[in-house]
Amino acid sequence: MSKAASQQSPRDPALGVAALLPPNPDPLLNQTITPELIRKHGLLPDEFELICKSLGRQPTLTETGIFSVMWSEHCSYKNSRSLLKGFPTEKKGETKDYGRVLVKAGEENAGIIDVGDGWAVAFKIESHNHPSAIEPFEGAATGVGGIIRDIFTMGARPVLLTNSLRFGELSSPATKRLLRGVVAGIAHYGNCVGVPTVGGDVYFDASYEGNPLVNALCLGVLRHDQIRLGKATGVGNPVFYVGAATGRDGLGGAAFASRELSEASAADRPAVQKGDPFMEKLLIEACLEMMAVPGLVVGIQDMGAAGLTCSTCETASRGGAGIEIELDQVPQRETGMNSYEIMLSESQERMLVIVKKGREKEIEAIFEKWDLHASNVGTVTDTGRMVVKQHGITVADIPANVLTDQAPLYKREAKEGEWAINARKWTPAALPDLDAKGVEAALSALIASPTISSKRWIYRQYDNMVQHGTAVGPGSDAAVVRLRLGDAEKFIAISNDCNGRYCALNPKRGALIAMVECLRNLACSGAKALAMTDNLNFGNPYKPENFYQLSECIQGLAEACRFFDVPVVGGNVSLYNESPAGSIDPTPTVSIVGLIEDEKHITRQTVSTSGSRLILLGGAPHELGGSQYLGLCHGIKAGDAPEVDLNAESLLQTFLLTQIKAGRVIAAHDISEGGLMVTVTEMLFTPEVGAPNALTLGAALDLSSLSASRLDALLFGESQARAVIAVSSVVEKELLSLAASVGLPATTIGEVNASGVLSLAKGSIKTQWNVAALRTGWETTIENAMRRPGLN
Amino acid sequence: MKVAVLQFPGSNCDQDAFHLFASGLKVNTKYVWHKETSLGDADLVVVPGGFSYGDYLRCGAIARFSPVMKAVQAFSQQGGVVYGICNGFQILCEAGLLPGALIRNSSLEYRCITCALKVETSNASFNPNFLGASVKLPIGHGEGNFRIDEAGLARLEANKQVLLRYENNPNGSLSDIAGIRSEAGNVFGMMPHPDRAFERFHPSMDGLKVATAVLATKFPELLKHTA
């Protein structure tokens, strides 16, 4: 084949031959670019024409590969970028002490927010859905590795990880295999690299069967003067390649991530990378040490999706410069790799560093200390072009900004799907309301359902305490982490959210709910929101109903961001989340970081002593649409998503924060999946530290004063803008009148006691539960499903 | 007293151990890089947790060959106090400074939880008088399952070398063993993390007391933290 290929004319003379490249050192790469090859690279005929026009000639095979990854959805956001422009990227209100956006969304590898006193946090979420579907362990592990690199490349020390996971029904053997592999992969990477996994969210729903979602977030901390950018500037500055050697793994991963999953996807397994968290740990330390040397680093960027290709053209493009590299200088894991393979490899744990000319020895010494490669592979030029050579022969020569900024932008057809239109029409009229027995059974079932139940089986496999900053770990509304800032300290909170069920029924409202719930979680933990990062997980954008969902969800997120003045500092778009059974429920995962001004304000969702009064804030829940109750107890995914009233949310959250700061709140937990009864029950599940709690808490609830047309909707409906707080009897009256004075509905619904029994009265309906039994169901659902015989 | 916290490639609880001593116990603490061949003027050597050399081959199996470990061997032979936490415990077992070995947890999974630990009465080199019967410390490991042959176990028990036992065994360790000392009484190792239990917001602050109990005989000035 190689002989035949080399004998073909490498160019089509009709397309203009002014700047023909010499034949590639590997004759295999001198093939004519056929329509078939273009299609295999995921490029459209129109896109190929555009490429030829920008180059003034046909691309070589290596160049075609470079365009295919840079113009893939994963790197170019070509189907979503026009929509993303609706996001606010700066804070409108006053930012005297903290909250200013220092590095904006889309400018760099991660956004950066001022947290005051000269310190800042960099954070971002990113998906690794497709690799995890094919090879869950390595897929999830490298997802963690990739997002950590995005953070320390900004100059920040990574201090926490969270993740947002979605799987099919837990009863399915395929889900168990994926869950086990994904959790083990995240644990393998995060634990070894020494960054604590402090929180996350997990849902199980049939729509994710065959296409799980694995979104990983990393947050790092740095001083303002430590911010480093991915810019290549200064003609003549050397370009260094540092970290692991390049192998043939992960070839074309970005292009792979931009296709639908099919039965044939298993054959794509070579597109999944293999991670080495030990290498990453060394790379973090070496890079932070290098960046701490004044003036040594001009620019730095990780090699993530599209590896060497993306890092060279992006740094060049951002710096308004060019870069020329020689592939012979790239450390290689195997011999005989050609330029196509080296440029498209997604081998992990590699970085590109632009160093101040004349100071090469300094960077070499640092990497020598850490036993890592640091290889001078090229130079910054003034040509604006990305020039790649192998054995001295040019194998690619492309204007850098064509790759990064001139991918075509598409606005696809958007049309709401029939399913959602019909599903929203559902009303509970035909559904019989619950009696006492039904109430009892429903809570027992909901609390033990996989989505609501404790995720202990998952998070105890993650090191959630390393770096000794974890103040509130996994299992609460929000995780709280102490940041060491020189001799000072600050506490930040972080929460993830997205209910795909709501988004499927009403995409815009579902997205609004993802935002307001996330904000509510932060308020419950005592934090003021700083900024948001989002991971937009959707199906194939060429299907009008999917593009409609994408467009609506982005509008919903943007509206909430503007209303609450929470800027978007970055994120990720993952399309083509489909399996042969169809598209996933739209899942615009939201992660918001907040600041807790005083350690005393840290508030948990659980109570630990008896006697406190439980107060419902926001009024009686009254909606059933899209609820877990409907799904679990009736097998119904229908109705409209709960209503969203941004003013009501704001009122509730402001009140929560004010009362927490005033020291009147013992515990706070928002109402979300499973409704009011699940919220109250979870508040009684005080974490067991080392040994069983001395006290089994109970609560006596009387909801008779709440008006409700349906009991099921009151107890298990998921109306928004509601939370339950525990307060001491001493402040109860004062708090109720304070709520009344701002117009926030507030009702005492019961008292925490030490009976071990949760009792409920609502008019003539009376029922009760054993709290220990509820807790066993809640704690063991996932453990029992995942238990392996003979192991404990 | 002066504390040296060793740093191997892949150590990731080095900062935790550093702050347990520097911020928690307020003693003079510094890092010592694994390529060093001298411990300087250290009175106490702490081998911190993490994944030295990625835990490749076997936990601690590569780190024991780091240049600094020769100095640690010599230091301990002269009676110097060496304290290994988590991966540090594994390294000390691999180096032969402590008996036994740590293998994969019986669950075959990593465990990060807080454990209740029964405090054993060891000899004067481990002063548990101010600990009470039980302490709470976090664990975070995949290979904390302590193993030793029958004769070795009998020797550990006869010499009262066991410091702490799990009240609810999380990893399958023989005789619930969570921490031990050497026969001579100057080398200590434990899987639980005192370096994750010393701040107000930690699951407990027992880490300060446990670290003090380990070191109080040689460094009585630490006893001020047991009040």
The fold adopted by the segment(s) A412-448+604-786 is Phosphoribosyl-aminoimidazole Synthetase; Chain A, domain 2 (3.90.650)
For the segment B45-50, the average pLDDT, to the nearest whole number, is: 98
A191 and B54 within 8 Å at the Cβ level: the answer is: no
Where is A761: in which H helix or E strand?
strand A757-762
Q: Per-residue confidence at B220, pLDDT binned at 50, 70, 90? A: confident
- Interfacial A residues in 591-650 facing B (CB < 8 Å): 599, 602
> How close B165 comes to chain A (CA, Å)?
13
Closest-approach residue (CA) in chain A for B171: A792
Average pLDDT over residues A44-64: 93
pLDDT band at A262 (very low <50, low <70, confident <90, very high): low
What confidence tier does B114 reach under pLDDT thresholds 50, 70, 90?
very high
Average pLDDT, chain A: 92
In this prediction, residue A11 carries a pLDDT of 44
Nearest CA in chain B to A462: B112
CA distances from A67 to A12, A265, A383, B36, B42 (A): 18, 22, 19, 48, 57
The residue range of the domain holding B43 is 2-225
Q: Which of B19, B51, B107 sits opposite A468 (nearest CB)?
A: B19
Q: Which two tokens stand for residue A337?
A: 């790799």
CA distance A792 to chain B (A): 5
From chain A, the residues in CB contact with B112 under 8 A are 191, 459-465
Quick check: B140 and A276 CB within 8 A? no
Task: Please state the three-class secondary structure of A392-415 as a single string.
Answer: CEEEEEEEHHHHHHCCCCCCCCCC
Looking at chain B, the number of H-run helices and the number of E-run strands are: 5, 11
State the CB neighbour count (10 A cutoff) for residue A409: 12
CB–CB of A192 and B108 under 8 A? no
Per-residue DSSP letters for A643-712?
P--HHHHHHHHHHHHHHHHTT--SEEEE--TTHHHHHHHHHT-PPP-BS--S---EEEEE-TTS--S-HH
pTM of the model: 0.94
pLDDT in tens, A633-673: 999 999 999 999 999 999 999 999 999 999 999 999 999 99
DSSP secondary structure of A468-526 = S-EEE-TTSSSEEEEEEETTEEEEEEEEEE--HHHHHH-HHHHHHHHHHHHHHHHHHHT
- Determine, for residues A792 and B15 on separate chains, whether the beta-carbon distance falls below 8 Å: no
Residue A270 has a pLDDT of: 61
3-state secondary structure of B28: strand
Q: What is the pLDDT of residues A312-334, one digit of tens each?
A: 999 999 999 999 999 999 999 98
- Top-confidence residue, A689 or A573: A573
Give the pLDDT score at A267: 59
Per-residue pLDDT tens digits for A489-537: 999 999 999 999 999 999 999 999 999 999 999 999 999 999 999 999 9
Shortest Cα distance from A462 to chain B (angstroms)? 6
**A788 CB within 8 Å of a chain B CB:** yes
Asked whether the predicted pLDDT for residue A13 surpasses 70, the reply is no
| Per-residue pLDDT tens digits for A90-130 | 988 877 788 899 999 888 889 999 999 999 999 999 999 99
Q: Tell me which chain B residues have a C-beta less than 8 angstroms from the C-beta of A371.
A: 9
What was the pLDDT predicted at B219?
Answer: 86
Closest Cβ–Cβ partner in A187, A282, A791 for B107: A791
3-state DSSP assignment of residue A282: helix
Chain-chain contact of A690 with B115 (C-beta, under 8 angstroms)? yes
B50 CA: distance to closest CA in chain A (Å): 7
CA A209 – CA A224 distance, rounded (Å): 43
For B168-215, how does the pLDDT look when each residue is reduced to its tens digit (9 = 90+)?
Answer: 999 999 999 999 999 999 999 999 999 999 999 999 999 999 999 888
Count the helices and strands in chain A (H runs, E runs): 27, 28
Number of domains in chain B: 1
DSSP bridge pairs for A746:
A617
Q: Which residues of chain B have a CB within 8 Å of the CB of A192?
A: 10, 12, 51, 54-55
The predicted structure's pLDDT at residue A565: 96
Contact present, A277 and A145 (Cβ < 8 Å): yes
User: What is the band of A1 on the pLDDT scale with cuts at 50, 70, 90?
Assistant: very low
For residues A393-420, give the mean pLDDT: 94
* High-pLDDT (> 90) share of chain B, %: 87
Give the pLDDT of residue A604. 96
CB-CB neighbors (< 8 A) of B13 in chain A: 194, 466
pLDDT at position B223 over 90: no
Å between A35 CA and nearest CA of chain B: 46
What are the chain B neighbours of A466 within 8 Å (beta carbons)?
12-13, 16, 49, 140, 196
Provide the pLDDT confidence category of residue A248 given band limits of 50, 70 and 90. confident
Tell me how far apart the alpha carbons of residues A654 and A665 are, in angstroms, rounded to a whole number: 13
Q: What is the pLDDT of residues A557-590, one digit of tens each?
A: 999 999 999 999 999 999 999 988 899 999 999 9
| pLDDT the model gives residue A6 | 37
pLDDT at A121: 97
Task: Kindly list the residues from chain B whose CB atom is less than 8 angstroms away from the CB atom of residue A468.
Answer: 15-16, 19, 195-196, 198-199, 202
Q: Within chain A, which residue ranges are assigned CATH 3.90.650.10? A: 229-404, 412-448+604-786
Give the tens place of pLDDT for each residue, A165-203.
999 999 999 999 999 999 999 999 999 999 999 999 999
Contacts of A463 in chain B (CB under 8 A): 110, 112, 140
Nearest CA distance, B79 vs chain A (angstrom): 31
Angle among Cα A96, A199, A160 to the nearest 5 degrees reads: 60
Residues of chain B that touch chain A, judged by Cβ-Cβ distance less than 8 Å: 9-10, 12-13, 15-16, 19, 35, 49-51, 53-56, 106-117, 134, 136, 138, 140, 142, 167-168, 172, 193, 195-196, 198-204
8 Å CB contact of A194 and B50: yes
Give residue-wise pLDDT tens across range A728-776: 999 999 999 999 999 999 999 999 999 999 999 999 999 999 999 999 9
Distance from CA of B166 to the nearest CA of A (A): 10
Confidence of residue B79 (pLDDT cuts 50, 70, 90): very high
From the CB of residue A543, how many other CB atoms can be counted at a distance below 10 Å? 19
- Token representation of residue A314: 């992006």
Side chain identity, residue B177: I
What is residue A298's three-state secondary structure? strand
Chain B CB within 8 Å of residue A779 CB: no
Share of chain A above pLDDT 90, in %: 82
- According to CATH, the topology of domain A229-404 is Phosphoribosyl-aminoimidazole Synthetase; Chain A, domain 2 (3.90.650)
Nearest CA in chain A to B108: A791
CA B182/CA B188 separation, integer angstroms = 6
Tally Cβ neighbours within 10 Å of residue A267: 10
User: Which residue of chain A comes nearest to B203, CA vs CA?
Assistant: A689
A792 part of contact set with chain B, CB < 8 Å: yes
Quote the pLDDT of residue A16: 40
DSSP state of B23: I
User: Active-site residue numbers of A?
Assistant: 74, 128
Question: What percent of chain A is predicted at pLDDT more than 70?
Answer: 95
Select from B107, B108, B140 the Cβ nearest to the Cβ of A463.
B140
* Distance in angstroms (rounded) separating the CA atoms of residues A10 and B142: 55
Q: Say how far apart CA A248 and CA A418 lie, in whole Å.
A: 44
- Residue A746 near residue A658, CB atoms below 8 Å: no
Residue B51's closest CA among B5, B13, B84, B19? B13
Cβ–Cβ below 8 Å for A466 and B167: no
Element (H, E) at A286: helix A277-291
- The CATH number linked to B168 is 3.40.50.880
- Chain A residue numbers touching B193 (CB-CB < 8 A): 465
Query: If you search the block for the tokens 């362990």, which residue do you land on?
Result: A137
Tokens at residue A416, please?
A: 């709401």
A368 pLDDT band (50/70/90 cuts)? very high
Long-range Cβ pairs for the range A57-60 (8 Å, 24+):
A57/A11, A57/A15, A57/A16, A57/A17, A57/A18, A57/A19, A57/A20, A58/A11, A58/A12, A58/A15, A58/A33, A59/A33, A59/A398, A60/A10, A60/A21, A60/A24, A60/A29, A60/A30, A60/A33, A60/A395, A60/A396
Report the alpha-carbon distance of residue B149 to residue B151 in Å, rounded. 6
What CA–CA distance (Å, rounded) separates A251 from A228?
Answer: 28
pLDDT at A268: 60
The pLDDT of A357-383, averaged and rounded, is 96
- C-alpha distances out from residue A77 to A261, A538, A572, Å: 19, 13, 9
Asked whether the beta carbons of residue A467 and residue B140 sit closer than 8 angstroms, the reply is no
What's the rounded Cα separation, in Å, for the pair A372 and A229? 22
